[in-house]
Amino acid sequence: MQYHLNGYTFGDPSIAPAAPRYMRQDAELPATVDVLVVGTGPAGAVLTAQLSQYPELSVATVDRRAEPLARGHADGVACRTVEMFEAFGLADRLVREALWVNETAFWSVENSDEGITRTGLVQDVADGLSEFPHVIVNQARMQELLFDVAANSPSRFAVDYGWQYVSQTIDESDEYPVEVTLEATAEEQAGTTRTVRAKYVVGCDGARSAVRESIDRKLHGDVQNHAWGVMDVLLVTDFPDIRKKAVISSDAGSIILIPREGGYLVRLYVDLGAVPEGDTDFRKRTTVEQITESANKILDPYSIEVRDVAWWSIYEVGQRIADGFDNLNDDERADQQPRIFIAGDACHTHSAKAGQGMNVSMQDTFNLGWKLGAVLTGQAKPELLHTYSEERKVTAQELIDYDIRWSKMVGSRDADQPVTPEEVEAQFVRGGQFTAGLATRYTPEFSTLTGADTHQDLAPKFEIGTRFHSAPVIRVADAKPLQLGHVHRADGRWRVYLFADDAGLAPGSAIANWCERMLTDDASAINRFTPQSTDTDSVFDIYAVTQQSHTEVDINALPKLVQPAKGIFGLTDYEKVFSAEKTNGSLLGNIPGLEATQDIYDLREIDRTRGAVVIVRPDQYIGHVLPLEDYEAFDAYFAAFLKG
């Protein structure tokens, strides 16, 4: 973390100095905002946190609840989501508080006289997929952490609870085109209405989204008429894998068991079987005692004794996707920009079996947030906003397709051909990348932000369109070992990683020439799209990685673009240059933590002779891979959507 740039400050460095110009002056809802966020679930929390990083923007977040979520709902946090939390500076707190899912156990009936037995035990996340684990944390805690980020931002964003979305109208002649009617739900104001005008509205208000209905979008798909009971409980049991994630199947049904953070709480998803079509009272008739009774039948010869119920619910398996993720039809996109978006459960619903609902919802708004920020601050063309629907509809459909397959695997007793325990375990292993949240790929076919793979051979394991897969490096200035991907902050900036060829960083090298050209040519993307009144790295955060040992790098000979002068005092930023060296500690005095590392060139198969330029979007996905000598291709990539 860098601070003290513009003068010494004391206190918690994670709390940014306030920017009074943009702060709310009172507790009343504002009359106008740049963005109105509807809903405080996972999608709304991420979007609020992301937009809070733009102190020049005004944002209001509303929720029909009278107070923050306290319990229940989702809890599985995929590796990819932890990577995203790292960009907000939250990963350390998240993994410290969380339960780590290290193994998944599979139980089924092999001999009907014995009941269930363990049939398999697999590593939950394969080695090398991510530097972070799969963890379990209460959704309420996830949201609290994200809203803390917003509250500690320069604008001190806070949520306005007790307001539900009613309707909207759009008038493009107004500076704030969307007029939204909100109705109070809090008891003391219930029924009163307010109007708020916004430039953009984002509906993160769940499967029964009022925002989705207001733009006449429909959910399409299937409800399987198969019910599951879910309960978070404190219990006593003789089941030996109670602190492991477990997939349990018997003739009486299936259970997905998720141990929770804190060492005692356990979540059980209990198969309740088929629901007669049209039976709308099933949820009302079912009790938590019945869920417990069903669980004990499935667990035979083991049993559970529930001592306390923290939360429970009933839901039916269903996979549905909206016919559009914004308010525009395809024939309107050529000459209009979207004003209203939907995200998370508002535009795709599915079962909890794949553990991806909350995760994909948060990735929706991590994708959208920086695009709204770039357009509202004048950095990008409004056409950039079309890429949200282009990219996320494909991802949502892939989730639903996977969820259908996995749901049938773990709730198959009603199927014509029930699957075997071996098939369930094999499907779990095959879907490892997907359940880790790492299967998303934005292809050129569906995303105008994804470059062609013409030069992919320069870094095959930095696949264009996938998330930037971090790897260990040594920071040159202070010999600190860290993950390269952890320099990425959720601040709306682009990351450009310059991987040196075998000439390193010396004057006359390919990297030195790249930096010189980008600084001196008025036509370069760096000069065209970086406002003159800002720091050199305010739009493009550029890093260099060399194959040299950190002790061989001459700090005073580095290109200014990777060692820029910043802030009101023109201080030098020394944290942008890294070494890919391996070390056994001998060069560093056997400092703990530096005994060994891996070479990022080997891990990501970077061409050592030619080097590479890797362009990474603000949401951590790779936009392009280019040669160090192809300046024009770099400029052209950004000219397609940024404004000079």
Q: What is the CATH number of the domain that holds 387?
A: 3.50.50.60
Return the pLDDT at 605.
Answer: 98
What pLDDT sits at residue 593?
Answer: 46
Q: How far apart are CA 249 and CA 457, in angstroms?
A: 45
Pair 463, 540 in one domain: yes
Report the candidate in 279, 225, 622, 304 with the shortest Cα–Cα distance to residue 444: 622
Same domain, 207 and 262: no
Co-location of 106 and 143 in the same domain: no
Tell me: do 365 and 475 sit in the same domain: no
The closest alpha carbon to 58, from 159, 179, 157, belongs to: 157
For strand 494-499 and strand 540-546, is the pairing parallel, antiparallel, or unpaired?
A: parallel
pLDDT band at 353 (very low <50, low <70, confident <90, very high): low
Q: Determine phi and psi for 477, rounding to 5 degrees.
A: -65, -35
Residue 61 Cα distances to 48, 158, 206, 360, 554, angstroms: 7, 7, 14, 20, 49
What average pLDDT does range 249-258 have in this prediction?
92
pTM value is 0.92
CATH assignment at residue 619: 3.40.30.20
Is 181 contained in some domain?
yes
Whether 442 is in a domain gets the answer no
pLDDT above 60 for 315? yes
Of the candidate ranges 84-88, 271-275, 560-564, 577-581, the one whose mean pLDDT is the lowest:
271-275
Other beta carbons less than 10 A from residue 4's beta carbon: 11
Q: Which residues, 6 or more positions from 203, have their beta carbon under 8 angstroms from its beta carbon? A: 38, 39, 165, 209, 210, 211, 212, 214, 340, 341, 342, 343, 346
pLDDT (tens digit per residue) in 527-557: 999 999 899 999 999 999 999 999 999 999 9
Q: Are 4 and 169 spatial neighbours (Cβ–Cβ below 8 Å)?
A: no
Spatial strand order in the sheet of 76-77: 76-77, 135-136, 99-100
Domain that holds residue 479: 456-639
pLDDT at residue 327 is higher than 70: yes
pLDDT band at 587 (very low <50, low <70, confident <90, very high): very low
User: How many contiguous H segments (helices) and E segments (strands) does the chain have?
Assistant: 15, 27
pLDDT at 23 over 60: no
How far apart CA 384 and CA 529 sit, in angstroms, is 15
- Residue 489 falls inside a structural domain: yes
Residues 294 and 269 reside in one and the same domain: yes
Give a yes or no: residue 209 inside a domain: yes
Same domain, residue pair 483 and 603? yes
Residue 60, domain member (yes or no): yes
| Residue 318 binned pLDDT confidence (cut-offs 50, 70, 90) | confident
The answer on pLDDT for 490 being more than 90 is yes
Under the banding of pLDDT at 50, 70 and 90, the label for residue 421 is confident
Asked if residue 113 has pLDDT above 50, the reply is: yes
Instruction: Average the pLDDT over 68-94 and give the result.
Output: 91
CB 528 within 8 A of CB 540: no
- If asked whether residues 199 and 248 sit together in one domain, one would say no
Is 10 within a domain?
no
How many angstroms separate the CA atoms of 350 and 74, rounded? 12
pLDDT, tens digit, for every residue of 183-197? 999 888 888 999 999
pLDDT: which is higher, 588 or 213: 213
Q: In terms of domains, do 600 and 481 share one?
A: yes
Mapping DSSP onto H, E and C, the string for 415-482 reads CCCCCCHHHHHHHHHHCHHHHCCCCCCCCCCCCCCCCCCCCHHHCCCCCCCCECCCCEEEECCCCCEE
Do residues 430 and 513 both lie within one domain? no
Q: Can you read off the two tokens belonging to residue 45? A: 């929390």
- CATH code, domain with 417: 3.30.9.10
- DSSP H or E stretch at residue 403: helix 386-410
Two tokens at 8?
A: 């010494």
State the number of CA atoms in the 13 A half-sphere of 71 facing the CB.
Answer: 11
- Asked whether residue 4 is domain-assigned, the answer is no
**Is the same domain home to 147 and 209?**
yes
- 77 domain-assigned: no
Q: Answer with the residue of higher pLDDT: 282 or 338.
A: 338
> In the predicted model, what is the mean pLDDT of the chain?
90
203 pLDDT band, cuts 50/70/90, is very high
Burial 101-123 (b: 16+ CB within 10 A, else e): beebbbbbbeeeeebbebbbeee
Question: In the predicted model, is pLDDT for residue 21 greater than 60?
Answer: no
Based on the domain organization, do 152 and 266 belong to the same domain?
Answer: no
Pair type for strands 59-63 and 159-161: parallel
Question: Once rounded to an integer, what is the mean pLDDT over residues 231-254?
Answer: 95
Nearest to 337 by CA among 401, 285, 384, 276: 384
DSSP annotation of 395 reads H
In a 3-state reduction of DSSP, which class is residue 174?
A: coil
- Is residue 545 within 8 A of residue 580, CB to CB? The reply is yes
Cα-Cα-Cα-Cα torsion 430, 432, 437, 439, nearest 10 degrees, comes to -40
Residues 594, 480: one domain?
Answer: yes
Residue 636, token pair as written in the block: 């052209």
Q: How many domains does the chain have?
A: 3
Give pLDDT tens digits for 155-186.
889 999 999 999 999 999 999 999 999 999 98
